[in-house]
Structure formats: C-alpha cells, structure tokens
Amino acid sequence: MNSEGLNSDVLDSSPAASLEAPMEPVVVETPPPPPPVPGLDDISLYIHRELSQLQFNIRVLEQALDESYPLLERLKFLLIFSSNLDEFFEIRVAGLKKQINFAREQAGADGLQPHQALARISELVHEQVERQYAILNDTLFPALAKHNINFIRRRHWTTKLKSWVRRYFRDEIAPIITPIGLDPTHPFPLLVNKSLNFIVELEGIDAFGRDSGLAVIPAPRSLPRVIRVPEEVGGSGDNYVFLSSMIHAHADDLFHGMKVKGCYQFRLTRNADLSVDTEDVEDLARALRGELFSRRYGDAVRLEVADTCPKHLSDQLLKQFGLSENELYRVNGPVNLTRLFSITGLDNHPELQYMPFTPVIPKPLQNAENIFNVISKQDILLMHPFESFTPVVDLLRQAAKDPHVLAIKQTLYRSGANSEIVDALVEAARNGKEVTAVIELRARFDEESNLQLATRLQQAGAVVIYGVVGFKTHSKMMLILRRENGEIRRYAHLGTGNYHAGNARLYTDYSMLTADVALGEDVGKLFSQLIGMGKTLRMKKLLHAPFTLKKTLLDLIARETAAASEGRPAHIMAKVNALTDPKIIRALYKASQSGVKIDLVVRGMCCLRPGIAGVSHNIQVRSIVGRFLEHSRIYYFLNGGDELVYLSSADWMERNLDKRVETCFPVEGKKLISRVKKELELYLSDNTQAWVLQSDGRYVRQQPTGNQNPRNAQAALLEKLTAPIVVTR
C-alpha cells in the first residue's frame, strides 16, 4: 500500500518532521477521588431541629395554594400556619433566646449555635410571613369573593355600611374598650400574650394639659375579631368587617377633642413555656396554677405590626419590649389571623369544605351487647379517624356499669375535662369502682384543662396521680380489671394518640383493644411503677421509656445492620412525628452504611440528612401533609423474615425516649402485621401529599411521573378501609 494513502504527518519519522510537528503526549485523566466519607459525629450530617420544625410549618402553608383542596380548607391551612408559628415563637424561639440571655448557648449535633439559628429563623420567617399575607390577599380573598364571601376593607365601605359600623362601634365596642394615654403617671400597660392592641399617635392637649402624643388601645378578648355584616346592610352573601377596621375608623371617638394622626394595630408574642422546678415543689398542681398566670406575661419574643405603621412608632414599640429589628414583622392585614378560624366552617358553604364522613365501626363490635366478650376472643385494631374511636369510649362506659368490673386505671394526657372518657370515669367512680387516673398536668397548653379534669375526678371519688416528677407521662393506656369465673381478667387499651374524641377525628392514630394476658400484666406493672414506688419491673411484651424502649430500638436497628453486613435482606420502616435523637440517627446511619434499606415517614422535625454518599444513601425520608394530622407511630423491622411491627406513643426524640413515660406494644398475628405493613407502605407510595427530604435540608413535593397514577394515602384509607382484621385466640 502506498504510504501516500496514509496521513504523512503521522508516519513521517524523520528528525525534521519531528522538529516541525512534535507529538503531543497522550494524557489519561484519572477521575478525582471521591470525597471522604464524614464521620458519624460530623456536624454536616445533622439538621438543626428548630429549622426543621420551621420547614414543616412552611409545608403546611404550601397547602393553602393546593387547588385540589376545598377553598375554606385552604384558608384553614393558612391559619394553621399562623397558629403553628405562634407556638414556634412561644416555645422554640423563646427557648433559644433564653439560652443566649443566660449565657448557656449549647449547639446540638448540627453545630449551630442559638444566635446563629435565630438569625436563620428570622430570615426564613420574614420571607414566609410576607408570602402568607400575599397568598391571603391575592389568592384566597379573591377566590372567596367569587363565592360571595367578602371581607370588606374600609375603602370599599358604602354609606350604609359606614352608618352601621358607627352604630356597632358606639353600642358594642366603645363601652368595653379602655384607651390608655401614655405619660409619667400612665406607663406602658402590661400587654397579654398575643393580644390585639393599637398604638395611637395623637395631637393636642387633653383636659388635664397632657400632650404625650401617644396612647394604647388594648382590644378586649371578649370582642369578636371578625364581625358579620347584616344582609340588609352588606347585601347578599357572607360579608365581614374586621374589628381592627372598625377601631381604625373610629379611634377619634375615643379621644374627645384630640386629633388622631394615626392608629396602627400590633401584637406581641411572649415566652409561653412554663417553668416549674419539679425538684423544689411540694404541690405540682398549685405550682402550675401560679405559672399559668405568668405564661400570659412572659418575655417578649416577637412583635407584629401593621405594615403602615411609621418607623418611629415601631422603633418605640421595639424599645419598649426589648426587641431588635429582626424580631419585628410588618404584615399586610390583621395581625391576629387565627381568629379567622371562626368563618372556616360556614354551614351554607359545604361545597367549600371537606366532605363529611362516618368512621367505620369494626364488624365484630357492631351490635355487640358485651364488648368484653368480643375482646376476650380477639384483638381489635383500629386506625383513626378512618375507624371510629367510639369502641374505646364504649368499652369504658360498659366498664363503668358492669358489676363484674372491679377497677379501672387510665393515663390522661390531653382529653378535656368534659369529654366522654372523663364522663365514663366519673360514672365508674360513683358506681363504686376503684378508679385511678394518672393525669399529666404538664401537657403543653392543656395544663388548665387538665387541672379542671383532676378536680372533677377527685370530686367523684377517683384517685388522681400526677405521674412521676421529672418525667412526663405521655403513654396512652387503659386497664380494666374484671372478675370472670372467680378469676381477675385484664382488658387493656393501648394507643398512639390521646384520649380525645375530637382529635380522633382529625389525627391519624392506632388503637389496640386486647385481653392478651402478657400485655395486660405488663400494663398493670407499668401502672404500679407510675402510682407506687419500686424498682423497674420486667415486662414480657411491652416496651417502655425511659427504661427499655430506646435500648430495644437500638438493638433492633443493630440486628438489621448485622444482617445486611452478612449479605442477608434487611429493612427498616418507621413512621414518627419527629426524629431528633442523635443516638438513633447514628444507628440508622450505620445501618445504611451496611446496606439496610430504610424508609422513614417523619411528619415534622427530622435532624437526619438522607441521601449522603457513603452514609445515608440507603435512607429515604418523607413527610405527609394532608387533611388529617399524621400522628401514629409505627416501627417495622424485617428481622430475618420474622417481621416485627410495633405501635407506640413515642417519637424518636430525646425527650420521648429519655425523659418521658412512653409505651410501645407489638402487633401480633400475620394478618394484623400484614395490615399495618400495607398501611405503612401506602404512605411510602404516596405521590401527591408526600414531601421528600433532600440531603441539603430542602423538601420536594412528590408528583406523579410518566404513567403513574396519583396516589393519596389518606384519601385511599378514607375510601377503602373497612372493618379491622382480627386475630382469633
């Protein structure tokens, strides 16, 4: 072959050719080494718990934009965001500020100092509050107006409406309001937590020659914040005027002879976390009664003002309350949005609300004259709210009347003083049963209700115990002792939720009604520990915090880790409200590194970062936000094919596992295990209400892709769940 047919530049090897066209060396690029795998204590592997909680609140706000929800339900989500944010500041932000004020700053596993967290919180909340009011004003109010539900702003008041507002103000508002002029003899009033107030700028000299130029108008809590306008005044439909608009319009009437230069609403949020030294208190109930009053006047943590408020006035308010500019929130609308809840249940607009439903009664209990006979033969598993809470109430009611029932023992965390559960306990005590109630007085924001509950039960003759000092009693359990054929038999209820019928319609939770001998004995032992004194009693089936639950969880995670290390199948699934415990997180990281598949449904706070190469690449975390508040706690372990399923009152948090009395009970029998597993897998397949946590801390909402059908776990359970599967003994 002639060399001319080839590339002469390549083939010519003469010295001249080499000098003229030197050969370029072939460089083989080696890929960069993978980044080092961080140690399990590395701060980059953890998310700050308060920032994670804030992300949950943002997911709630997102629901207000979801057009698949009925319109009034979207408004409700926006208001829930406000309510959640109030508590976030009252407890979470207040706690961080307290650390700084007392020079006790402590960083968590994420390494973020409290002052750093507060700066990030301020940035996020300012952004989201501005967005919240934009959604309200630009999206929800116009959409409601299309259904003839109107919130009439002052600039749109007709002459007729103005006259009606004047009369209403004169007759209903002015007599109750007490304006306070600010001068040396009238210092700034002590304002109640989250109360509506107005700062008023005045011009002129009053009858006593005073000209301080400022006054405050506290709006009494007895006044409605949203007032319905009569049809003959506002026309057809549902028309409302804000109390704040009425006060703005007629502030002049409250300061005779003075000129009102400006009137601006504001609201102060205070630290509402009760502080009781449990080691130095003789009577917890009495101490709590004293603290409940102080909750209304704790340290200031946030100031909300109308966005029209001049800077010199907002600065004066900040100075008055000892707050910084970062703690000021200017809002384009009412500062107390949660009062709008009063209009979210309009009877004449059912089409704008969720379709009502009737929870299922389990078939074995339908028309059952004696619930004890049914439970003695089989466990009854209920999933609320899809299945009714009524059987739990009916069991207690029947026990109150049954002559064979000797004693009833029950924990109460959030139930309400006037609930059906409490009615049944009162009746049982009056009927001569030995009734013992372990009431957790320190259930946050339910302390006052629980004090009333304790008084009511004591007056009926029940023995009331306030749990264990230093450990909140958060477990949900009931024990009924009944004499049958000359022997005492134990019937128990164990649950993941509270004994509150209202919550049972809004929260997802599990209940187990059982006459299992071992479980009944374990529940009896736990009541003995709570009520009396003594060493920890050995349990056969029940796991309980702060003693065996955390250790067993770590052992079960380690068992899956070992299985994966040996090449055997390993799988962990869990559904909890929060995951913050560093030991549990590290154990899950180790399991992931060994190859364990880990699927988590974490509603709120999650400090674990999934999807990090070499550490959490086998972990998926999702949050479900929908019609019902996800509240059930489920733990699943493959366990070499001998599957273990537990239901619990405990989240995977330090406070639950180390500082609370919690229960965790096994689900037994293949049918019930299969049922709970399938229900958990339904949440893991949700692609409409699920938000998947990314390794950088962001949540991405899932959407059907390709040929996927929309899957909504709550809707599927609402539509399909029927009577529970039972296990015959």
Residue 338 phi/psi, 5-degree rounding, is -60, -20
Taking residues 303-315, report their average pLDDT.
Answer: 97
| Predicted local confidence at residue 633, as pLDDT | 98
Site of tokens 């007599």: 175
| Predicted local confidence at residue 16, as pLDDT | 42
Over the Cα atoms of the chain, what is R_g?
Answer: 31
What amino acid occupies position 302? R
Taking residues 291-312, report their average pLDDT.
Answer: 84
| Predicted local confidence at residue 209, as pLDDT | 61
The model's confidence at residue 6, banded by pLDDT at 50, 70 and 90, is very low
Give catalytic status of residue 474 as yes or no. Answer: yes
Domain end point (choices 320, 352, 384): 352
What does the pLDDT look like over 542-587, one tens digit per residue? Answer: 999 999 999 999 999 999 999 999 999 999 999 999 999 999 999 9
Evaluate if residue 1 carries a pLDDT over 60: no
| Predicted local confidence at residue 549, as pLDDT | 98
Query: Residue 601 pairs with which residues in a beta bridge?
Result: 575, 622
Question: Is residue 674 domain-resident?
Answer: yes
At 306 the three-state DSSP class reads strand
Question: Is residue 23 domain-resident?
Answer: no
pTM (two decimals): 0.89
Query: Residue 598 pairs with which residues in a beta bridge?
Result: 572, 619
Contact 264, 305 (CB under 8 A): yes
Question: β-strands 690-693, 619-624: how paired?
Answer: antiparallel
CATH code: domain of residue 616: 3.30.870.10
Question: Is residue 11 domain-resident?
Answer: no
Taking residues 498-512, report their average pLDDT.
Answer: 91
Contact 53, 89 (CB under 8 A): no
What does the DSSP assignment read for 48-115? Answer: -HHHHHHHHHHHHHHGGG-TTS-HHHHHHHHHHHHHHHHHIIIIIIHHHHHHHHTT-----TT---HH
Question: Is residue 193 domain-resident?
Answer: yes
Provide the greatest CA pair distance for the chain: 120
Question: Is residue 13 domain-resident?
Answer: no
- For residues 186 and 664, what is the distance between their CA atoms, to the nearest angstrom? 57
Lowest mean pLDDT among 79-88, 188-197, 617-626, 688-697: 188-197
Taking alpha carbons only, the member of 367, 381, 361, 373 closest to residue 402 is 373
Contact 77, 69 (CB under 8 A): yes
502 or 438, which is more confident? 438
Taking alpha carbons only, the member of 47, 70, 687 closest to residue 352 is 70
**Same-domain check for residues 570 and 712:** yes
Domain interval for residue 423: 363-538
State the total domains in the chain.
Answer: 3
**Same-domain check for residues 617 and 669:** yes
Evaluate if residue 536 carries a pLDDT over 90: no
Contact 460, 408 (CB under 8 A): no
| Predicted local confidence at residue 183, as pLDDT | 78
Site of tokens 């390494």: 111
- For residues 268 and 111, what is the distance between their CA atoms, to the nearest angstrom? 30
For all residues of the chain together, what is the average pLDDT? Answer: 89
**Same-domain check for residues 532 and 665:** no
**Same-domain check for residues 428 and 401:** yes
| Predicted local confidence at residue 527, as pLDDT | 94
- For residues 38 and 616, what is the distance between their CA atoms, to the nearest angstrom? 11
**Same-domain check for residues 338 and 393:** no
Domain end point (choices 505, 538, 571): 538
The model's confidence at residue 520, banded by pLDDT at 50, 70 and 90, is very high
Q: How far is CA 280 from the centre of its chain?
A: 31
| Predicted local confidence at residue 229, as pLDDT | 96
What amino acid occupies position 523? V
What is residue 353's DSSP assignment? S
CATH code: domain of residue 81: 3.30.1840.10
| Predicted local confidence at residue 292, as pLDDT | 52
Which are the contacts of 240, defined by CB distance < 8 A and separation ≥ 6? 149, 150, 151, 152, 226, 227, 228, 229, 343
Site of tokens 């005073």: 210
| Predicted local confidence at residue 13, as pLDDT | 42
| Predicted local confidence at residue 706, as pLDDT | 86
Q: What secondary structure, in 3-state letters, does 186-251 show?
A: ECCCCCCCCCEEEEEEEECCCCCCCCCCEEEEECCCCCCCEEECCHHHHCCCEEEEEHHHHHHHCH
Evaluate if residue 44 carries a pLDDT over 90: yes
Which are the contacts of 405, defined by CB distance < 8 A and separation ≥ 6? 399, 428, 433, 480, 481, 482
157 or 298, which is more confident? 157
| Candidates 248, 349, 474, 571; catalytic one | 474
Evaluate if residue 389 carries a pLDDT over 80: yes
Most confident region among 97-106, 240-249, 287-296, 718-727 by mean pLDDT: 240-249
What does the pLDDT look like over 605-618, one tens digit per residue? Answer: 999 999 999 999 99
Question: Is residue 346 domain-resident?
Answer: yes
**Same-domain check for residues 93 and 221:** yes
Contact 186, 180 (CB under 8 A): yes
Overall residue count recorded for the chain in this entry: 729
**Same-domain check for residues 137 and 282:** yes
| Predicted local confidence at residue 362, as pLDDT | 87
Question: β-strands 727-728, 378-384: how paired?
Answer: antiparallel
- What beta strand segments (E) does 603-726 contain? 619-624, 629-630, 633-637, 644-648, 660-666, 690-693, 699-701
Query: Residue 624 pairs with which residues in a beta bridge?
Result: 690
Residue 416 phi/psi, 5-degree rounding, is 85, 140
At 183 the three-state DSSP class reads strand
Lowest mean pLDDT among 25-39, 431-445, 461-475, 660-674: 25-39
Taking residues 77-88, report their average pLDDT.
Answer: 96
Question: Is residue 345 domain-resident?
Answer: yes
**Same-domain check for residues 526 and 557:** no
Taking residues 709-728, report their average pLDDT.
Answer: 77
**Same-domain check for residues 510 and 550:** no
Taking residues 340-364, report their average pLDDT.
Answer: 92
**Same-domain check for residues 665 and 555:** yes
Domain end point (choices 352, 374, 389): 352
Question: Is residue 43 domain-resident?
Answer: no
At 377 the three-state DSSP class reads helix
Taking residues 633-654, report their average pLDDT.
Answer: 98
Q: What secondary structure, in 3-state letters, does 533-559 show?
A: CCCCCCCCCCEEECCCHHHHHHHHHHH
**Same-domain check for residues 608 and 521:** no
Taking residues 502-530, report their average pLDDT.
Answer: 95
- For residues 382 and 720, what is the distance between their CA atoms, to the nearest angstrom? 14
| Predicted local confidence at residue 58, as pLDDT | 97
**Same-domain check for residues 397 and 320:** no
- For residues 323 and 305, what is the distance between their CA atoms, to the nearest angstrom? 13
Taking residues 263-274, report their average pLDDT.
Answer: 90
Taking residues 222-251, report their average pLDDT.
Answer: 94
